[in-house]
């Protein structure tokens, strides 16, 4: 499942330094309830909505970035699009990083993002 995890810069640095990030972490995902409410909406639109929700919650974590990660959550039931990930989140599961303006950066660009902030 693709999750969008809002995190502060120190958490992103921890992900780089330790190759993983311990939980619990709150993450946004495409909720089956969202899909059922508007079945005509395409997958890309749902993913964008999840990204946007995660980016809007960055203020709750003191600003930073949204980590897009592919994580298996076999027993997770999203509530309003949000799940709690027990962790750890491994760097190998990271797909990209999104900034507050939803600009995408590849995982290989994370060190540069950390230097430039």
What are 72-92's pLDDT values in tens digits?
775 656 667 788 888 888 898
Q: Is the pLDDT of residue 36 over 80?
A: no
The rounded mean pLDDT for the chain is 86
Who contacts 81 (Cβ-Cβ below 8 Å, separation ≥6)?
Answer: 28, 29, 30, 31, 34, 49, 50, 53
Q: Which of 105, 101, 93 is nearest to 51 (CA)?
A: 101
In the predicted model, what is the mean pLDDT of residues 98-107? Answer: 88
**Nearest-5° angle of CA 63, CA 65, CA 69?**
140
* pTM, rounded to two decimals: 0.86
Q: Long-range contacts made by residues 56-59, C-beta under 8 angstroms, separation at least 24?
A: 57/6, 57/26, 57/28, 58/6, 58/100
């Amino acid at each position: 499942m693709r999750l969008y995890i809002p995190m502060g810069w120190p958490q992103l640095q921890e992900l780089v330094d330790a190759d993983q990030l311990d939980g619990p972490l709150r993450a946004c995902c495409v909720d089956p309830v969202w899909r059922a409410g508007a079945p005509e909406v395409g997958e890309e639109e749902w993913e964008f909505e999840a990204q946007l929700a995660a980016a809007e919650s960055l203020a709750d974590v003191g600003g930073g970035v949204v980590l897009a990660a592919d994580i298996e959550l076999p027993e997770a039931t999203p509530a309003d699009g949000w799940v709690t990930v027990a962790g750890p989140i491994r760097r190998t599961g990271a797909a990209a990083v999104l900034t507050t303006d939803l600009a995408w950066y590849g995982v290989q660009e994370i060190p540069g993002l950390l230097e430039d902030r």
